[in-house]
Structure 1
Amino acid sequence: MDLLWDGLIEAIRLILRADPELQQLVSRSLMVSLTATALAAAAGIPAGIALAVGRFPGRALLQVVVSTGMGLPPVLVGLVVTLFLWRTGPFGALGLLYTPAAMVLAQFLVATPIAAGFTRAALGLLEPDLLAALRVDGAGRLALGWELVRAALPQVLLAVAAAFGRAISEVGASLMVGGNIAGQTRILTTAIVLETGRGNFALAIALGIVLLALAFVVNVALGWSARVPAAAGT
């Protein structure tokens, strides 16, 4: 209990004195994870729509890939991305390893299956008559997908929130491809690992509290975004 209390006090101190290092960690964490989440949503939501209503060759394989990806170990993602970005790897010439861009890529890979799987589940809860009605009205693929997302918007935003939670809480892959370099690729999760290894438990707990607060704020914002269209439609 003393460690938890010390961590809470340290978190309040860091926030109140606007600690520059903490601000860097927060801004870099948000930049990396929000970018990865936006990319994951852009790829995962259409994939979820396709799985929910599409009939196409390779659909079963895509379902297996998404289901497997939802439980994919992040360290495995980190290993694969590292091999591809290593100086002797296929994309080593790009010089992306140990940069925020590599961390965005790793978080994108772990978050996209979450967005796709949750979107598919959300659309599966809709009334079958809605899909039939849209098809009878002659809605094209894009229009059909858009209307389905609108109908299940709160649940789809939940899918985005889950993808963000997966991204911002990820540590293994980010540590491997980012290197936890101070001032460059260190984010909240990797900083927590570092401070725990050093025995600075109060600071590690403080950073964990800040990380939890960030996740809470983003999820509240997404929840509010889901209620605004619903309220406007009533």
Structure 2
Amino acid sequence: MTASRQDIRPLTSAFAIRRFRPTLEAPVNDIGTAAATAIDLVVTADPALARIVLLSLRVSLTALLIAALVGLPLGALLAVARFPGRGLVLSVLNALMGLPPVVAGLLIYLLLSRSGPLGPLGLLFTPTAMIIAQAVLIAPILAALSREVLEGLWEEYAEQLRSFGAGRLRAVPTLLWDGRFALLTVLLAGFGRASAEVGAVMIVGGNIDGFTRVMTTAIALETSAGNLPLALALGMVLMAIVLLLNAAAQATRQVAQRAGA
């Protein structure tokens, strides 16, 4: 296949109209029937549903790993470092936490497009482009939240660490380990943000059926297309993931409190 990934973009609308057809022959405007069909899709692990969910998890978890490798060390460095302009850096970091997803998606699109600096890599309209978009969005969140957590630990243990001959930079690994429970909550927050993303991943991924379609973009597409059963099924799975994340975050906080007691 010699066509580049960018050549797929004009076909996106053609892929988009290939909608899942409910297994039950019932009008999609019947909410009760649509909900029953959606539950059946979830319980039976419908292949179309499972494919979308698995791709969503793969993209979001990979983006979280990349963002954590950048954001957590950066947050730790900002927690212990004192330098001219630190306040400005923190202000920019906090501003990036509210970066509009569509703006991030547009910037990444320009970088990965055929005429962009990374165009020859052919990453546009692929899961890799979606991972990059999500990582760019959540890395500032992880950095800012981890900085707040680790700055408190640094203030608490600074004198003790200095007495052992550990300077600011050498204290970073110790702070990351000591704050691991609190940082796990930060990671869960980042994953929740990534899994709920719509705008940026739709711009750089194209929402191509069977290739770059994730839960959020599929819900938007199927709802507008009137295919309520699949949209409801995906919504149920996404809500279940959110509830599990909240439960995990609560359990993590309780473990951290017991560990600190």
Using structure 2 for the length normalisation, give the TM-score. Answer: 0.79
Aligned equivalents of 1:7, 1:67: Cα separation in 2: 42
C-alpha change, 1:127 and 1:92, in structure 2 (3 Å) is: closer
2:63 maps to 36
Aligned equivalents of 1:43, 1:8: Cα separation in 2: 41
Q: Counterpart of 2:197 in structure 1: which amino acid?
A: E
Aligned equivalents of 1:120, 1:141: Cα separation in 2: 14
For these two proteins, the number of residue pairs brought into alignment is 233
Aligned equivalents of 1:225, 1:71: Cα separation in 2: 26
Alignment check: 8 A CA contact 2:76 2:151 kept: no
Map residues 87-102 of structure 1 onto 2, 5 A cutoff: 87-102=114-129
Most deviating of 70-79 and 121-130: 121-130
The structure with more radius of gyration:
2
Q: Counterpart of 1:203 in structure 2: which amino acid?
A: L
Displacement of 1:231? 6.6
Gaps of 5+ in 1: none
2:96 maps to 69
Alignment check: 8 A CA contact 2:77 2:169 kept: no
Alignment check: 8 A CA contact 2:80 2:154 kept: no
Q: Counterpart of 2:51 in structure 1: which amino acid?
A: Q
Map residues 33-182 of structure 1 onto 2, 5 A cutoff: 33-56=60-83, 58-126=85-153, 128-141=155-168, 143-182=170-209
Q: Counterpart of 1:69 in structure 2: which amino acid?
A: L
Gaps of 5+ in 2: 1-28
Using structure 1 for the length normalisation, give the TM-score. Answer: 0.88
1:217 maps to 244
2:50 corresponds, among 20, 23, 28, to 23
Displacement of 1:113? 0.9
Report the 3-state secondary structure (helix = DSSP H, G, I; strand = E; otherwise coil) of the residue aligned with 1:18: coil
Displacement of 1:184? 0.4
Q: Counterpart of 1:193 in structure 2: which amino acid?
A: A
Most deviating of 58-67 and 184-193: 58-67
TM superposition outliers: structure 1 runs of 4+ over 6 Å: 225-234
